[in-house]
Amino acid sequence: MFTAMFGAVEQGIIYAIMALGVYLTFRVLDFPDLTVDGSFVSGAATAATMIVLGYHPILATLAAIVVGFIAGCITGLLHTKGNINPLLAGIIMMIGLYSVNLRIMGFSSENATSLPNVPLLNSETIFTKIYSFWEHLGIDAFFNNILTSLGVKNLPQTWEILFVMIILTTAIKFIVDWFLKTEIGLAIRATGDNKRMIRSFSANTDTLIILGVGLSNGLVALAGALIAQYNKYSDATMGIGMITVGLASVIIGEAIFGTKSIMRTTFAVIVGAIVYRIVLAIALRVPFLDASDMKLITAIIVILALIVPQMIDKQKDKKRKAKRLQEKLAAAQLEKQGGDHLA
Amino acid sequence: MLKLEGINKIFNEGTPDEKVALNNINLHLKPGDFVTVIGSNGAGKSTMMNMISGVLKPDVGKVWIDGKDVTHLPEYKRSHYIGRVFQDPMAGTAPSMTIEENLAIAYARNANRSLRLGVNRQRRDFFRTSLEKLHLNLENRLNAKVGLLSGGERQALSLLMATFTQPAILLLDEHTAALDPSRAELITNLTKQLVEENHLTTLMVTHNMQQAIDLGNRLIMMDKGQIILEVDEVQKPNLTIPDLMAEFERIRGEKMNSDRALLG
């Protein structure tokens, strides 16, 4: 159980980067962008292929971000300059990217032009590179000793990925927070909020949408690149349903922590991504469910995350109304009594 | 400052719904002019505003701002020169953003947007002193979301956002029409104050004749896509509502048909 939870948190923090990307489009830009399913794999494929070709994993990861950014910009262009509905623009890109991703992975082998997957079993990744430094720090032993004294058996192999990802994801969160407060960031937020208004303040909404969708997909591709290095493979189908996962994370996080400010919402989205992974890990431990049911479970989690907050709100509203009615009745009663006294 | 030259616009040309929205409009505003525009529904007032702001392009004719031909400049580029307040109080602000963030967006109108923070201490001070002029206590609610403000407060904020960067032209499109009378009066007074303080060249569309007479140094009346009456700064101070109605009857040979056009 502990190992499963530990893995869920590790993955959750990586997927949180993707969730932040989804938050940028769905919430900030109000642009339901489905490119994610494709650009996530593009990131994974680019990073895995470059690593296999012998590039430094950090360079490979940065290249993945660029590829995702370009994919997102194209979706933005299709919508703004091609007047294609956002959902449709995303779907078109998702389908097109599937082939592009096969081609990208094809570069990893001299014998094939396209490949459905790239294994990274014996390759250096960002995580193995940092591990060679990490293992001298003795942090693993420190934490595992604590766990052993608490009576936990199956100990995690290393705490490195968890720590590295906490630092990286937190850094990205702060960058996103800061960006959304810059002049360009404010204009992007206003584009999602009130297009007519921001145009009247000399902002080109087309450019802002293209930039916003591009940045979002850059983050998604970064998450893809990291997941490929975490799982030690990239696969053409690893992006299926990714948009639902991102959406689930955003909605769960917002339902738990609310959306009072940008800083709080981005934090909520990160926690949402982790909670989602934990829920999934628990669901998979139910005896009659197995790994192939994961997508269905995802779909159900999203449905619940969308409907339950509504029902809670309705219930709260009802209670509030009932209370107000009671108070009014009581006040009327009191007034009547007072009136009687006077009479 | 603003010059419209032979503007023509036809909607749905060549269909049974064809409508001549603007018919050879010529208008010239000198720096500091405050022109009020009246006319009944469908007279072409809003279409003219959209021509100036760049939302619509004329079929024939030219638009000049500050000596530059801006006829082919897209809306977002023209907004460098133009401040606008819309009729709908919801239209001029971003509801899910705070007051200071909205002001920061307006503040960035003149320059290219960069990766500098939208709100820094210096700007916040400037926003606060600007808001104080509204006397709505908004200066103490800089971090409140604009969606929580009332219609009147939002319209006052829109007005401030449109004017405090001193645009070459200020366009007001029935910006008090959606408010209750007391709020409308407040916004009217604010308009007067802000236009005078910033010496703005202003074009204001209104349905309210009294407002059109009270504000501004010139007045034009539109009907069926044409400017049918121009009152200059010499005649305007002595203008009354009966004058305007008599003038309309004399020109058009019919009574003004819309009560809304009279009393708003």
Which of A81, A200, A265 to probe the B interface (max B CBs under 10 A)?
A200
Residue A204 is nearest to which of B76, B95, B110, comparing CB atoms?
A: B76
Residue found by looking up tokens 């360009």 in the block: A184
Does residue B190 contact residue B182 with C-beta atoms inside 8 Å? no
- Interface confidence (ipTM) of the complex: 0.89
Same domain assignment for residues A47 and A138: yes
Q: How confident is the model at residue B245 (pLDDT cuts 50, 70, 90)?
A: confident
Query: How many beta-carbon contacts under 8 Å exist across A and B?
Result: 87
pLDDT tens readout for residues A96-119: 999 999 999 999 988 889 999 999
My answer on whether A206 and A332 are in the same domain is no
In the predicted structure, residue A3 carries a pLDDT above the cut 60: yes
A142 is written with which tokens? 């420190």
Report CA-CA distances (Å) from A231 to A10, A123, A169, A338.
Answer: 11, 12, 18, 75
User: How does pLDDT run across A267-300, given as a tens digit for each residue?
Assistant: 999 999 999 999 888 888 888 888 888 888 888 8
pLDDT at residue B263 is higher than 50: no
Structure tokens at A247: 């959406």
Structure confidence by residue, pLDDT tens digits, A119-136: 998 899 999 999 988 888
**pLDDT (0 to 100) of residue A332:** 85
Instruction: Tell me the torsion sign for CA atoms A225, A231, A236, A238.
Output: negative
Q: Which residues pair with B229 in a beta bridge?
A: B221
Has residue B249 got a pLDDT over 60?
yes
In total, how many domains does chain A have? 2
* pLDDT value for A343: 47
Average pLDDT, chain B: 89
pLDDT at B261 over 60: no
pLDDT tens readout for residues A79-93: 999 999 999 999 999
pLDDT band per the 50, 70, 90 thresholds, residue B264: very low
Whole-model pTM: value is 0.89
Shared domain check, A299 and A240: no
Contacts of A29 in chain B (CB under 8 A): none
Which of A186, A200, A204 has its CB closest to that of B84? A200
CATH of the domain at A219: 1.10.3470
Indicate the pLDDT class of residue A338, thresholds 50, 70 and 90. Answer: low
> What is the rounded distance in angstroms from the CA atom of residue B84 to the CA atom of residue B76?
12
* CA dihedral sign, ordered A44, A49, A54, A55: negative
pLDDT level of residue B255 (50, 70, 90 thresholds):
low
Instruction: Collect all residues with Cβ–Cβ distance below 8 Å to B16 and sequence separation of at least 6.
Output: none
Does A314 share its domain with A191? Answer: no
Nearest to B118 among A183, A196, A202 (CB): A183
The tens digit of pLDDT for each residue in B70-118 reads 999 999 999 999 999 999 989 999 999 999 999 999 999 888 899 999 9
Asked if A181 lies within 8 A of B118 by C-beta distance, the reply is yes
CA distance B35 to A103: 63
Assess whether A280 and A303 both reside in one domain: no
Tell whether B121 lies on the interface with A, counting CB pairs under 8 A.
no
Q: Are residues A226 and A300 in the same domain?
A: no
Helix, strand, or coil (residue A155): coil
- pLDDT over 50 (residue B260): no
Least Cα separation, residue A309 to chain B (angstroms): 20
B-facing residues of A in 186-205 (CB < 8 A) are 186-187, 189-190, 193-194, 196-205
Q: Mean pLDDT score of chain A, rounded to an integer? A: 91
Beta strands in chain A (DSSP E): 117-119, 233-235
The CATH code of the domain at B2-94+150-263 is 3.40.50.300
How near does any CA of chain B get to the CA of A217, in Å? 20
Element (H, E) at B173: strand B169-173
Give the A window 158-187 contacts with B, CB below 8 Å: 178-179, 181-187
Do A340 and A222 reside in the same domain of the chain? no
Residue A340's pLDDT is: 57
pLDDT at B258: 52
For residue A335, the enclosing domain spans 294-343
Overall average pLDDT of the B38-65 stretch:
90
What's the 3-state SS for A220-231?
HHHHHHHHHHHH
- Main-chain phi, psi angles of B117, to 5 degrees: -60, 140
